[in-house]
Chain A
Amino acid sequence: MKFGVVVFPGSNCDKDMLHVLGNVMGAQVREIFHKETSIDDFSEKDCIVLPGGFSYGDYLRTGAIARFSPVMNAIIEFANAGGKVLGICNGFQVLCESHLLPGALLRNNNMQYICKNVHLKVETNNTQFTALTQKGSVLEIPIAHGEGRFYCDEKTLQELYANDQVLFKYCDATGNYTEAANPNGSIDNIAGITNKTRNVFGMMPHPERASELAMNNTDGRILFESLLAKAAVV
């Protein structure tokens, strides 16, 4: 299995992701520049990562322009063919704008950018991205965003639950879904979701910032390990 990390103009967590996947996890990984129109070297057992950052400056609406980037057509095709796509932070926003994931990410309810550690409760381990986690376990992973308030209409929300598509919810250190533990006002404390076919994953927190001892936090590592282990089984 190999990874591709997309570099949009304004991506700024691309190098972090390349480092963690390549150096820390020892996975095969290559950079994909946004002007590439074909990603034929990737098959459906591979995973494309849309990293965090400010694609196109996020000047219109977060992720709104990146969606029209040349490489995105190829990525949408790849996802529709069953290839795995993971969007972190700005990558999550791009996935929502591309309709690969439902819902939208709005301005944080305090109207400020927030960078800090938060706690997440794993809502399902029935995905390749969370396979090694315990359902109900609490991970501490940092967020860094100004527009991370997940929102969707009631019908979509019910569908997300009905199909077991909610990956993570913001919680306190002991796993309670409190308002204080919700850093941005996301609906139902939702921090990450997957699509119906369970091959596209989006989350606002940054697991790549919690994957090595140098960060004194390795809670995020299990998500990359899950992807790699699942691929090994297949």
Chain B
Amino acid sequence: MADLTSSLQEATLEQAKELGLLPEEFEKIKQILGRTPNFTELSVYAVMWSEHCSYKNSITYLKKLPRKGKHLLVEAGEENAGLVDVGDGLACAFKIESHNHPSALEPYQGAATGVGGIHRDIFTMGARPICALNSLRFGDLKNDRTKYLLRGVVKGIGDYGNCFGVPTVAGEVYFDPIYQTNPLVNAMSVGIVKTNETVSAIAEGAGNPVYIVGSATGKDGIHGAAFASKDITADSVNDLPAVQVGDPFQEKLLLEASLEVIKTGAVVGMQDMGAAGITCSTSEMSAKGNAGMVIQLDKVPTRQSNMKPWEILLSESQERMLIVVKKGMEASVEAVFEKWDLHCAVIGEVNDSGILEYYMGETLVAKVPAESLVLGGGAPVYQREFSEPPYFEENKQFKIENVAEPKDLKAVAKVLVKSLNIASKKWVFTQYDSMVGVANTSINRPSDAAVVRVQQNSDKALAVTVDCNARYVWANPLVGGQIAVAEAARNIVCSGGDPSAITNCLNFGNPYNPHVYWQFVNALKGMSIACEALGTPVTGGNVSFYNQSTEGGAVFPTPTIGMIGLLNDWKDAMTLNFKNEGDAIYMLGTSRNDISSSEYLVKFHGIEKSSTPYFEMEEEMKLQQTVKKLIASKLIESAHDISEGGLFTTLLESAIVSDLGFDVNAAQNTNIRTDAWLFGESQSRVVVSVSKDKVEEFETLVKDLFPCEYLGTVTKGNLVVNGENFGASQEYKVQYDTALEEVLIG
């Protein structure tokens, strides 16, 4: 280490282990460098080779996910987020990411910075975020810690997103004791960019200056990526400094400035600073352009004095960007940041060496080859052992015959309407600004997926949704993985959209546990099957392992699917609510004697172990094609898919929005149990309503397309099932709307 000052001591194996590296990884670093790294260099490798940045235990399988599709401009992994062609010279950049670990410790900042981080991933590509979604999972809400986490996460998402000024348009919230210690907080951003104004996260052109812009760098979030790459234990409280602090106002300025600076034509490449801070952005941008950089860490604007080189390198302070600028065009870039009152400092220069050299004043503090740090370059890749967990066989033993059918199904309905996985999440979503941007057309026109105009003066719209029933994935990862993708697509289709592509957030336990890894491998296999069948490639996302704790074990395998679909005109959107008294109600699909993994089975009977509900990919595809045709033919008044809580919940949700009721009857002479018909969750079913004058035409068309059961009619007032009055629609509405608040506030 001739040119590294002798005052910097060689790092030790002990230090490497403390930073989360394996002994063989420490050896590999020594081989790459041809010497022992110093502590700063070791820190750089530790964070870049952490699970969070390197995807070392997942990349082999991620590469097997379908990545090609006719609408894709940028495939997974090529940029910060995938790009889908939406026509008219516009593209959609979208991505979902987890912020589980920080949210478990500090829910408010953890969730807030999750939102900030995912938006930055989108606007760093030049796209203006048009909407946000989120997927949240918590433990039992009766638990005080869960209440604290829910309040903190919701306020964090709200405060950040509301101030940043992007509407939160859709999401999901689940409660299950399995998430007691490890809540999941997944945030998704969707942005729109002109196809000729996209920016790449690349460094090239020797002599080009490297700028850091946005907030000053502080000591927050150091080793955040490493923290996210381990289990949560009693010692996790010591990791609190690993949680970052968000400033949505700075991010709003950074958004406007970043989009404005792109228009100057001076930007060669740009990357936001998320996990692993300056280390990650300098190495990934350099590796992508086969370039090197000389970086002066003392030129980085800092929040406190005397920050150590490795602290500056690893800080995960939010609201920062690294920009490589065309030499000679510095003034136009600086003028934009001056306008928005943001820091804008030259911290280095691009060269052709492929080497990253970090200086503090005159002192070279670290010197590492860029390629050796990154995914697809020198970062390690592992294939972990996996084996089928014993519970899987037990789940398959479940038989509906062993569950007695309750006499009073009305009582079941009353329990389910208040089940927190079914009841309205109004308390949550009224705290989010869902309307800013005047793009969300679903506020007064509810549908299974939110329908958002791509631009304020455009008819073209996107349907967006996040979905994952993690209990299904746990019950059988191969089938559950398919259902997650299929349900997302079904929601898009029921809203009048054409599914385009997905982003995924893969939340699993510890990958070194063979049972967890078995869930991971199989869930991805299931997702692949569904993505191939539905023509919706995976454009990107992230993997969050280590969602497990000493007491609670691993969370349900939770591959959250964020999907977008296209509508040529927002006016073509289909809504989920019944429209008129007297309209006919039909169910597309087949009733089955199936209550497996249903909310009904778990909450009413207390039975956790069963398999996934019935699902068959071919059938699902036919269903979706049928719904598309019915919407295009303008034959239906509403469409709402059957998911948690079964047919009854779907009917209820369609009815109460418009203060209507329903009168439905099960088909005669079947061997389907009434509880399975009403509350089972067998897949590939959609409830539609049809106005009286179109019934004949509807029946003629649907006959040749898909199985369809006539259920009854839309009424005013009561919910009537097989002649029995289940109660007033209004009463159910109150229960549905207030159940969550009741448990939360008591």
Contacts of B625 in A (CB 8 A): none
Nearest CB on A from B614, distance (A) = 36
The answer on a CB contact under 8 Å between A54 and B249 is yes
Say which residue of A19, A54, A115, A146 sits within 8 Å of B435 (CB atoms): A115
Contacts of A161 in B (CB 8 A): none
**B305 CB-CB contact with A under 8 Å:** no
Contacts of A12 in B (CB 8 A): 163-165, 252, 436
**A209 CB-CB contact with B under 8 Å:** yes
Q: Mark B220-262, 1 if CB is under 8 A from A, else 0.
A: 0000000000000000000000000001111011000000000
The answer on a CB contact under 8 Å between A56 and B249 is yes
Which of B344-352, B399-407, B437-445 participates in binding chain A?
A: B437-445
Most buried by A among B162, B437, B438: B438
The complex places the Cα of A93 from the Cα of B435 at a distance, in Å, of: 20
**B197 CB-CB contact with A under 8 Å:** no
Say which residue of A10, A19, A116 sits within 8 Å of B438 (CB atoms): A19
Nearest CB on B from A223, distance (A) = 15
The complex places the Cα of A23 from the Cα of B456 at a distance, in Å, of: 9
Closest chain A residue to B163, Cβ basis: A54
**B453 CB-CB contact with A under 8 Å:** yes
Contacts of B249 in A (CB 8 A): 9-10, 54, 56-59
**B158 CB-CB contact with A under 8 Å:** yes
Nearest CB on B from A64, distance (A) = 14
Q: Mark B477-513, 1 if CB is under 8 A from A, else 0.
A: 0000000000000000000000000000000000000
Closest chain B residue to A20, Cβ basis: B438
The answer on a CB contact under 8 Å between A112 and B457 is no
Closest chain B residue to A57, Cβ basis: B249
The complex places the Cα of A12 from the Cα of B164 at a distance, in Å, of: 7
Q: Which residues, 96 to 136 on A, are CB-close (under 8 Å) to B?
A: 112-117
Which of B80-88, B426-434, B687-695, B706-714 participates in binding chain A?
A: B426-434
The answer on a CB contact under 8 Å between B252 and A16 is no
A9-B341 contact, Cβ under 8 Å, with A57-B248, A216-B444: yes
The answer on a CB contact under 8 Å between A216 and B445 is yes
Contacts of A52 in B (CB 8 A): 436
**B148 CB-CB contact with A under 8 Å:** no
The answer on a CB contact under 8 Å between A53 and B165 is yes
**B340 CB-CB contact with A under 8 Å:** yes
A215-B431 contact, Cβ under 8 Å, with A54-B248, A113-B158: no
Contacts of B339 in A (CB 8 A): 35
The complex places the Cα of A115 from the Cα of B437 at a distance, in Å, of: 13
Chain B interface size band reads 20 to 34
Nearest CB on A from B138, distance (A) = 18
Most buried by B among A15, A114, A142, A215: A215
Contacts of A114 in B (CB 8 A): 430-431
The answer on a CB contact under 8 Å between B456 and A116 is no
Contacts of A9 in B (CB 8 A): 249, 252-253, 340-341
The answer on a CB contact under 8 Å between A113 and B438 is no
The answer on a CB contact under 8 Å between A58 and B444 is no
The complex places the Cα of A2 from the Cα of B162 at a distance, in Å, of: 29
**A85 CB-CB contact with B under 8 Å:** no
The answer on a CB contact under 8 Å between A144 and B441 is no
A215-B163 contact, Cβ under 8 Å, with A23-B456, A115-B430: no
The answer on a CB contact under 8 Å between A144 and B438 is no
Closest chain B residue to A214, Cβ basis: B441
The complex places the Cα of A95 from the Cα of B274 at a distance, in Å, of: 38
**B45 CB-CB contact with A under 8 Å:** no
Contacts of A53 in B (CB 8 A): 163, 165
**A164 CB-CB contact with B under 8 Å:** no
Most buried by B among A12, A15, A208: A12
The complex places the Cα of A214 from the Cα of B459 at a distance, in Å, of: 9
Nearest CB on A from B269, distance (A) = 26
Contacts of A57 in B (CB 8 A): 163, 247-250
The answer on a CB contact under 8 Å between B456 and A115 is no
Q: Mark B316-346, 1 if CB is under 8 A from A, else 0.
A: 0000000000000000000000011100000
Contacts of B431 in A (CB 8 A): 112-115
* B contact residues vs A (CB 8 Å cutoff): 155, 158-159, 162-165, 247-250, 252-253, 339-341, 430-438, 441, 443-445, 453, 456-457, 570
* A contact residues vs B (CB 8 Å cutoff): 9-10, 12-13, 15-16, 19-20, 23, 35, 52-54, 56-59, 112-117, 142, 144, 146, 206, 208-209, 212, 214-217
Q: Return 10 A-B CB contacts under 8 Å, by A number.
A: A13-B436, A15-B456, A16-B456, A19-B456, A35-B339, A113-B159, A113-B432, A115-B162, A216-B443, A216-B444
